[in-house]
Structure 1
Amino acid sequence: MSKHVRHTPLLKSLSKRQWAKVAAVIAAVGFIGAAGVVSRNFYQNDAPKSFSDVTAFSATDSAASRSAARGAIDSADKNTTFVTVKINGDSRTVLGEKQDMTTVKDVLETGNITLEPDDAVNPSLKTKVTEATVITIDRAGADVETNETAIAFNEVRKETSSLPKGQEKVETEGENGIMETTSLVTRAGGKIVSSNVFASWVKKAPVDKVILVGTGSSSTTVAANDLGTTTPAGEIQSWAHDYLLANGYTEEDFTAANYIISHESGWSPTATNPSSGAYGLAQAYPGSKMASAGADWQTNYQTQFKWFIDYCNQRYGGITAAYNHWITYNNY
């Protein structure tokens, strides 16, 4: 997973195919053509809305940008390619498998980019693409708008022998996090006609409220590895908590899982990190990796969480081990 560093919000998408962590090319393209106009229904589908997040490079230094992007892809997945899409001045990179991204039409389908009836696209839909291609879309009357919503903090209770038995002390006050969402909004007569989310990320992670619970002697302090017991906040967390305990995991495992996911996605099944394209609760990249846990990985938080558990077990040997890595490196 990539660090949550603020980048320019990018165009809405949810890749139907494979995503890979890659540097993006942010194109400084002034000309927006009108080579092709297609209807919304041509690309409309039932896939959930998602968001893309890519490391920025300047297209004014296109050779260096593409070289860096290609290097990042090669290190992750040599079958993956990228193409830049720019709409009303905002850019994103569509990632996908090479065999699935040969034309402009392929790129838009791969990125699940829905065109409005009056959108103008350049180059035309049948044009062959390379990693140097910049697809521009001109959407008249649409504005980019950003809003923030709260990410609830959790209450974590930790036992400590440094307090008398039964006595409690607040070690850390809780603080809500911030989820930033950017949408492409079209208005007519002052009323919103359409609002399409194309970026959503954890701008500020929540801070847990930590309560120390006394167990006896005051001669020692809380163990460094005591993660404590976390009270779930909301339906998704409650399900995840119960699922873990029902399958042999511990309260500390849930605390560790909650910490990682709260920082990665704010527990949003459709979140995507703005600089890597990582998707879902666990910020998997490519998001399609989660298909190994179920075909409904794009929308089902249960499928995503099960994949998260398997990922932690296979890569780190457990959820708490993944948490320890995250604490050290701010990613996992």
Structure 2
Amino acid sequence: MGRHSQSSSLSTTLVELGALASKSLTNTTAEHGRRRAAGPAKTSISPAMYRAGGVAAALSLAVSGGAYAATQFGESDIAPLTESQARMQAIAASGEDTADGLVVGGDVAEVSSVTEEVTDKFERVEQESDSLAEGEEKVQTEGVNGVTRVVYRVTSVDGKEIAREVVSRAVVTERVDEVVLVGTGSTSDATADTGSGSATTTATASGDGTTAASAQSIAKSMMSSYGWDDSQFSCLVNLWNRESGWNYQAQNPSSGAYGIPQSLPGSKMSSVASDWATNPTTQITWGLGYISERYGSPCSAWAHSESTGWY
């Protein structure tokens, strides 16, 4: 009983195929006997020959998917092995482990997915402007690096990468190129062209801007040149009340932001005029230009400040 339980499935297959071989050969002998009754009697096949036939049939199945056995013994009921079954038998016989990847010439090839974020660096774009004195520069749009997420299919053999294929790309952050205004005008032209009329005339008509009321009056007189109506003025008042209280000498002790619009650093306002530290009109002119370029209107800047605490 113990010996029988230890017999392999292959032994069982050999016995069954031996029986099939016996049946086929017996039928063949009988058919020949009917057609050639006058001939000499056929020699009977011994059990050893039956066993040999069974072994041959089993070997032919392993080699050629059962086609040989079906041909030799005339058994149309025996279905040949599929290509996949034959391949699995070959792998099982070799004892190779293919769980970690494809086996190619004895080496293990692994396919994996790798995700990388690629930086798309912004570029500097220069634009000439006669509103700035020749040689002066002003950043109109700050540059922002773009980020693209790329997924690769990587093939490695024995831990060494041999191939890489892009599967997909997705833009995480759009690239924004830096736009820099380069001055081409004379110093007098740049001072006069403030985007809101003559700064000297505005200051004379509205006061010198050294008080909150006079500074607000100067700002209000400039707003129409940006296309803003009076509904935007209250937002501007609220915004710069929060930033500086409309004090042209206000300085943030932590960040160093300076003036009515709290320019950081204050020297940015030199793009309007060199007296940025002492002239409220210069500060207001720069501040309105900053709001227009970055937010489009004072109310949009105020909404951002309400949301984040800064603008």
**What TM-score does the superposition give when structure 1 sets the normalisation length?**
0.29
Larger Rg over CA atoms: 2
Q: Considering fraction of residues, name the structure with more helix.
A: 2
**What TM-score does the superposition give when structure 2 sets the normalisation length?**
0.31
Higher relative contact order (CA 8 A, sep 6+): 1
